[in-house]
Structure 1
Amino acid sequence: MTAIQTVRLDRSWWGRHGGTATVWSLRALLVVALLVVWELTAERWFDITFTSKPSDIWTRLVQWHQDGTLWSNTWITVQEVVYGFLLGAAAGALTGFVLASARAFYQVLDPFIMALYAIPKVALAPLFIVWFGIGMSMKVLLAAATVFFLVFLNVAAGVREVDRGLIDAVRLMGGGRRDILVKVVVPSSMTGLLTGLKVAIPYALIGAVIGELVASNRGLGYLINDAAAQFDTAGVFATLVVLSVIAALLNLVVGLLDRRASRWKPLGEER
């Protein structure tokens, strides 16, 4: 029998990362082009009272950076988002896994869960204020409630769609319930969990900022309210830029976790 030899391919940096570098270069070019067009056409085609322009937004960011307004309020919102995301994701993953494993129980609760999921989370803000006040805990719990259902539904779907053939194969090899759980159900549900985490990231931001918009004297939602009350369009856009950066960084973290968790998959199935 002929032994198979593995030949190492010494590819250049561009050969290994050229595709990714091209994509990121095009993205950066697109952003720069949009900003340049916006800057050049702002006062000619639009009323900057309503649209502002990139140079004014940058000036506002620099001003807030220098007086500490940006970092103090950003730190408050980041804490609310991270705590709410972790709390909602943990509760959603655990509940989804447990309930989906008990199929009969899940079928009984399914319509009630979907009814709760359908409630607009902004409608919960006044109730959460009554229950928890206007402190950070209210925003954390509102963000967690928003994240919970997205993670729960994706994890439950992953558990319920486990390949029955894999379960039968483990049983044929003498595996018990613990083997099926650890070697089949948990890995299969990881895809749903990671999808839920990715989808939930912006909603964690939405939940926290909604809480700040409704009742708060600090945080990025408060900055939006304060800037809008003063008709400071540049301030509103500056806050939105910061929120976008936070969302992008959280997405990057989850993406790294996704790649590490997907190493067990065949190459053709990695996302």
Structure 2
Amino acid sequence: MSADTEADTEAGTVTKGSAPETVPVQRSFWAKYGTTTGVWTARVVLVAALLLVWQWAADRWFDVIFTSRPSEIWNRLVQWHQDGVLWPNTWVTVQEILYGFALGAAAGVVLGFLLASATLLYRVLDPFIMALYSIPKVALAPLFIVWFGIGMNMKVLLAAATVFFLVFLNTVAGVRQVDQGLIDAVRLMGGGRWHITFKVVLPGSMTGVLTGLKVAIPYALIGAVIGELVASNRGLGYLINDAAAQFDTAGVFATLVVLSVIASVLNLLVGLLDRRLSRWKPVEAR
């Protein structure tokens, strides 16, 4: 080693075998968020164009009595807000959706993992589960009214019953798609059932679970609103019934707008959860 190299080594500027220095890449805002910005811009432009065409075409291409117009829908939302009608009824429906979604999703995930692990038991129960899944949930509403009354419990349980099967079936599919080679590898390394479950099966099946949660969001909303449509004196389903009885098309569309916003927010939350739990995957596989 030369004197210069020894001096550099003593000074700490050169270290044999040290890791290379990482230099952060400076990227512009457009390089980081250009695609996302473009997607959201296209969405906003599309929605604005549809609303403008709808506003212009009302009473020109179709009867405004049956389709209303965006300006009237907005006025109805403002009126309900000022009258104190919108937010109390929205909060009732939001509670029913959240409680029903949480209850149905939790039951679907837990039973999905348990039955997917018990192959023989699942084969025995499979036709009965599919038979129950095939029953239209709106047909359960009268029965739920007899069992639980017309209060919030009925709507929550109807939403939960709707969510349960979607989450359950997707969870079972996710567990069954876990790579058997990974399970065998953990066993060869001396891993027990706990290691296999929490280190392989749970992360590997998370795609199926999250897919079930995403698919179930609108069905939780549907279950709650169906319960309100059948028997209720509050909630967004009640507002739809009341507006339809008065042939208030703007009121019906205004309620549908609120329901769409609720579904979009819930989808956004599940999407954030998906990104959080999928950080271990390669970027292209997310």
> What TM-score do you get using the length of structure 1 for normalisation?
0.98
- Partners in 1 of 2:269 and 2:106 — Cα distance? 16
**Distance in 1 between residues matched to 2:46 and 2:177, nearest whole Å:** 40
Indicate which of 202, 212, 215 corresponds to 1:186: 202
Residue 155 of structure 2: aligned partner: 139
In the other structure, the counterpart of 1:32 is: 48
User: In structure 1, how many angstroms separate the alpha carbons of the residues matched to 2:220 and 2:129?
Assistant: 19
Q: Which residue number in structure 2 is paired with residue 150 of structure 1?
A: 166
| Structure 1 runs not aligned, ≥5 long | none
Could you list the per-position Cα deviations for residues 84-141 of structure 1 after superposition, in whole angstroms to 9, with x for gaps in the alignment? 0000000000010101111111111011101100000000000000000000000000
Please give the alpha-carbon distance, in whole angstroms, between the structure 2 residues aligned to 1:268 and 1:71: 41
Q: Distance in 2 between matches of 1:102 and 1:43?
A: 61
| Aligned mate of 1:227, from 228, 243, 260 | 243
2:225 aligned residue (209, 229, 232): 209
**Distance across 1 between alignment mates of 2:20 and 2:284:** 22
What is the alpha-carbon root mean square deviation over aligned residues? 1.0
Tell me how far apart the structure 1 counterparts of residues 214 and 162 of structure 2 sit (CA, whole Å): 13
Q: Which has the larger radius of gyration?
A: 2
SS at 1:44 equivalent:
coil
Structure-2 separation of matches of 1:139 and 1:213: 10
How many Å separate the matches in 1 of 2:218 and 2:172?
21
Aligned to 2:106: 90
Distance 1:112 1:91 in 2: 17
Structure 1: 4+ residue segments shifted above 4 A:
1-5
Aligned mates of 1:49, 1:174 — CA distance in 2: 71
Letter of the structure 2 residue corresponding to residue 245 of structure 1: V
From 80, 84, 87, give the equivalent of 1:71: 87
Aligned with 1:104 (options 89, 98, 120): 120
- Select which of 239, 257, 263 maps to 2:273: 257
**In percent, how many aligned pairs have the same letter?**
76
User: Counterpart of 1:11?
Assistant: 27
Distance 2:273 2:224 in 1: 23
CA deviation profile, 1:195-218 (whole Å, cap 9, x unmatched)? 000000000000000000000010
Cα displacement (A) at 1:6: 3.4
For 1:167-223, what per-residue CA distance to the aligned partner results, in whole angstroms no more than 9, with x for missing partners? 110011111111111111111121111100000000000000000000001000000
**Does residue 1:168 correspond to 2:184, yes or no?**
yes
**Residue 177 (structure 1) aligns with:** 193
Q: What's the secondary structure of 1:46's corresponding residue?
A: coil
After TM superposition, give the deviation of residue 160 of structure 1 in Å: 1.4
Is 1:54 the equivalent of 2:76?
A: no
The count of corresponding residues between Structure 1 and Structure 2 is 270
CA distance in 1, matches of 2:85, 2:52: 27
Matched, 1:239 2:255: yes
Deviations 1:130-169 (A, max 9, x none): 0000000000000000000000001111111211100110
Could you tell me which amino acid in structure 2 is paired with residue 212 of structure 1?
A: E
